[in-house]
């Protein structure tokens, strides 16, 4: 059973679940027309232990960074367990990352090894040729992908006959577990270092705030390389024993059919994606679905109530970032358009001017927050000055501009510093300008944002994600 002294520790929690209910099918990875990959607790733990041994055989030690570059596949879960066991750090990279940005993330994080899927071979190998110090631990080939026969096959790890119980495993809740890179709205992206203690609250949040229960079945198509899918779907499913379905990538056209097919009762969204779903042609059976609750961040005000009525669902709005902070608005509570309030007795939140004085009601300023009774900490990998700046004065500086009304409900308005928001990600205009400026035909360029026709907070008009 899991050691009570380290309750919430990812690998121990999964070991305990595998002991209690080994054959329970907890995660289903859905990939369109191809066969599902269904994982029981026993399968997860067995394959994770094999990968942990492979990493140790490759010389991985505490603090070493393993990069992961793929869509949503079971290897994400296996890798997170394996690195957690040996005290290494997982670096999940958004599969939309390409070229110079991909090279920057790998170099900046000091990644020692990498796992990726063969569909990204052509994108990834040129970058790895520039970084010969990074070892290819294994390449996964899924249905519909061409097998990378000239590279180490991850299937060899899963087919190993032994899955030994890990020895000398990491048990330090303060040790780093993941590095998740920000969008880089104010320059190069920064790697947020997340501790092992980070995951335990996700289960409590899902049960106590989002009100998940034993009859639920969760769904997400958001990338596991970001905090949202981990916090709202994957970790609550694994910790609470609530089955979840995870698509390889987000789909606005198939999402309701997926939920009907698998009986999913809740899914998570980013605001711009909600507009994409709403823009699909109306059907007579739109409300004929098993979904009761949508956990959304950035719901467009213009369609909020219409979305709930059309699809027969309730929206639970929330706000947070990978660096920390949390507020929420339960269905039917507070004004539509607000992302809510912080949890009473747990977190403080306010809106401040440049001089840190608090804004009046409806006055726009930067949203800042801090956990009550805890030191406000953010660690950007290799960037001590940026880390200290982010928590200046003991408050987490979100970089988000917003306001609160006379009753203390908070609203997001736009991103500080001029970054554009697209499908939940922030884009720095100067990076786009630089790309255009390389063309000889272009003599001058200026990239700027316009209000989204969708009304999604801080969003440009929605387009499908590029991955």
- In-domain check, residue 201: yes
* 296 in a structural domain: no
pTM to 2 decimal places: 0.88
Kindly give the pairing relationship between strand 113-117 and strand 396-404. unpaired
- Is 227 part of any domain? no
Q: What is the pLDDT of residue 135?
A: 97
State how many domains the chain has.
1
Angle made by CA atoms 153, 129, 127, in degrees to the nearest 5: 90
- What CATH number is given to the structural domain containing 156? 3.40.50.12780
* 236 close to 212: Cβ distance less than 8 angstroms: yes
- Is residue 194 in a domain? yes
Q: What is the DSSP letter of 320?
A: E
Q: Could you tell me which residues come within 8 angstroms of residue 404 by beta carbon, excluding any fewer than 6 positions away?
A: 350, 351, 359, 361, 362, 410, 411
Domain-located, residue 349: no
Specify if 286 maps to a domain.
Answer: no
Asked if 121 and 204 count as a contact pair (C-beta separation under 8 A), the reply is no
What is the predicted pLDDT for the residue at 463? 43
Residue 82 lies in a domain: yes
Q: Is residue 23 part of a domain?
A: yes
136 CB-side CA count, 13 A: 19
Mean pLDDT by 10 residues, the chain (467 residues): 60 93 97 94 93 94 97 97 95 94 96 97 93 97 93 91 77 95 74 93 91 96 94 96 97 96 96 84 95 94 93 97 94 95 95 96 96 94 94 94 96 76 59 63 65 61 42
pLDDT at 222: 95
Please give the residue range of the domain that contains residue 92.
Answer: 4-206
The confidence score (pLDDT) of residue 431 equals: 59
- Contact status, residue 409 vs residue 257, Cβ threshold 8 Å: no
Integer Cα distance of 89 and 217 in angstroms = 29
């Amino acid at each position: 059973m899991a050691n009570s002294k380290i309750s919430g520790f990812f690998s121990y929690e999964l070991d305990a679940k595998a002991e209690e209910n080994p054959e329970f099918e907890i995660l289903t990875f859905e990939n369109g027309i191809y066969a599902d990959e269904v994982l029981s607790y026993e399968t997860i733990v067995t394959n994770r232990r094999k990968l942990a041994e492979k990493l140790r055989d490759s010389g991985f030690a505490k603090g070493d960074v393993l990069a992961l570059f793929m869509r949503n596949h079971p290897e994400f879960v296996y890798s997170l367990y394996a690195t957690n066991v040996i005290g290494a750090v997982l670096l999940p990279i958004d599969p939309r990352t390409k070229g110079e940005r991909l090279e920057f993330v790998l170099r900046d994080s000091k990644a020692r090894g990498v796992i990726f899927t063969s569909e990204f071979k052509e994108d990834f190998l040129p970058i790895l040729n520039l970084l010969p110090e990074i070892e290819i631990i294994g390449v996964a080939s899924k249905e519909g992908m061409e097998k990378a026969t000239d590279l180490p096959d991850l299937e060899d790890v899963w087919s190993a006959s032994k899955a030994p119980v890990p020895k000398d495993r990491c048990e330090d809740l303060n040790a780093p577990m993941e590095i998740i890179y920000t969008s880089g709205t104010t320059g190069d992206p920064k790697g947020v270092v997340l501790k092992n203690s980070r995951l335990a609250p996700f289960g409590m949040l899902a049960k106590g705030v989002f009100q998940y229960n034993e009859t639920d079945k969760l769904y997400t198509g958001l990338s596991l390389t970001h905090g949202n899918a981990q916090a709202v779907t994957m970790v609550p499913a694994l910790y609470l024993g609530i089955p979840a379905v995870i698509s390889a990538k987000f789909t606005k056209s198939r999402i309701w059919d997926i939920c009907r097919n698998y009986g999913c009762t809740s899914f998570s969204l980013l605001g711009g994606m909600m507009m994409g779903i709403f823009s699909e042609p109306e059907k007579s059976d739109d409300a004929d679905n098993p979904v009761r609750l949508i956990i959304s961040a950035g719901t467009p005000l213009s369609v909020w109530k219409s979305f709930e009525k059309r699809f027969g669902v309730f929206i639970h709005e929330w706000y947070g970032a990978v660096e920390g902070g949390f507020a929420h608005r339960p269905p039917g509570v507070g004004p539509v358009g607000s992302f809510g309030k912080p949890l009473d007795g747990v977190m403080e939140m306010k809106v401040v001017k440049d001089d840190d004085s608090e804004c009046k009601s409806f006055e726009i300023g930067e949203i800042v927050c801090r956990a009550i009774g805890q030191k406000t900490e953010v660690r950007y990998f290799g960037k001590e000055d940026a880390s200290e700046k982010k928590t200046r004065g003991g408050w987490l500086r979100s970089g988000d501009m917003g306001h609160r009304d006379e009753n203390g409900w908070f609203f997001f308005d736009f991103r500080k510093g001029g970054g554009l928001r697209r499908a939940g990600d922030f884009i720095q205009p100067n990076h786009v300008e630089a790309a255009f400026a390389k063309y000889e035909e272009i003599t001058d360029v200026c990239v700027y944002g316009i209000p989204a026709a969708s009304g999604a907070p801080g969003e440009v008009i929605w387009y499908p994600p590029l991955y």
